[in-house]
């Protein structure tokens, strides 16, 4: 617990982050590719014409919910609070379009690209976190939170 930040879970966050980084390292050193979820999801569903072999993309994407399920079984509880469906639909549409236009999301740019010190990824990550800050601030202002 961090004083002043009652909701923070620094230890679980750090351990989960190490797991995510190790997963991305397996993809990089094992298969020679970036573990970018938006690109692999587009590839797995046939919405991208180039990228990882289709079977690799499908295996990674199928693995995501399976791994989450293992944690849920072991810990008995993975809390999740979802916004109203309207927010999910609008947010999902913009996320899908934006990640394809910008060639990546939190995993590809944020984790893989920033750790590679890629200028493109550092710019993209700075922009999407900043626009996230502004969006949520505007939602708070509009009373939509």
Q: Is 140 in the site for other proteins (CB under 8 A)?
A: yes
Least separation, in Å, of the C-beta of 138 and other proteins?
Answer: 8
Residues 5-44 that bind other proteins (CB under 8 A): 5-10, 12-35, 37-38, 41-42
Is 129 near other proteins (CB under 8 A)? yes
Could you give the CA distance from residue 36 to residue 106 in angstroms, rounded to a whole number? 8
Q: How far is the CB of 56 from other proteins (least distance, A)?
A: 4
3 is a site residue for other proteins (CB under 8 A): no
Residue at token pair 């708070």: 140
Q: How far is CA 33 from the centre of its chain?
A: 16
CA distance 47 to 62: 16
Helices 37-44 & 85-101 angle (0-180, nearest 10): 90
Residue 115 makes CB contacts below 8 A (sequence gap 6+) with 21
Binding of residue 131 to other proteins (CB under 8 A): yes
Contacts to other proteins from residues 87-126, by CB under 8 A: 87-103, 105-107, 109-116, 118-120, 123-125
CB of 125 to other proteins, least distance (A): 8
């Amino acid at each position: 617990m961090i004083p002043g930040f009652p909701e923070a879970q620094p230890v679980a966050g750090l351990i989960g982050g190490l797991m995510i980084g190790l997963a991305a390292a397996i993809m990089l050193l094992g298969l020679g590719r970036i573990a970018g979820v938006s690109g692999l999801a587009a590839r797995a569903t046939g919405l991208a014409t180039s990228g990882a072999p289709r079977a690799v993309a499908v295996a990674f994407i199928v693995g995501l919910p399976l791994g989450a399920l293992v944690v849920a079984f072991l810990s008995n509880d993975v809390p999740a609070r979802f916004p109203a469906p309207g927010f999910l639909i609008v947010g999902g549409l913009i996320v899908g379009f934006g990640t394809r236009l910008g060639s990546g999301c939190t995993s590809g740019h944020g984790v893989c690209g920033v750790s590679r010190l890629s200028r493109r990824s550092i710019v993209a990550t700075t922009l999407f976190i900043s626009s996230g800050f502004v969006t949520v601030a505007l939602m708070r202002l509009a009373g939509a939170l």
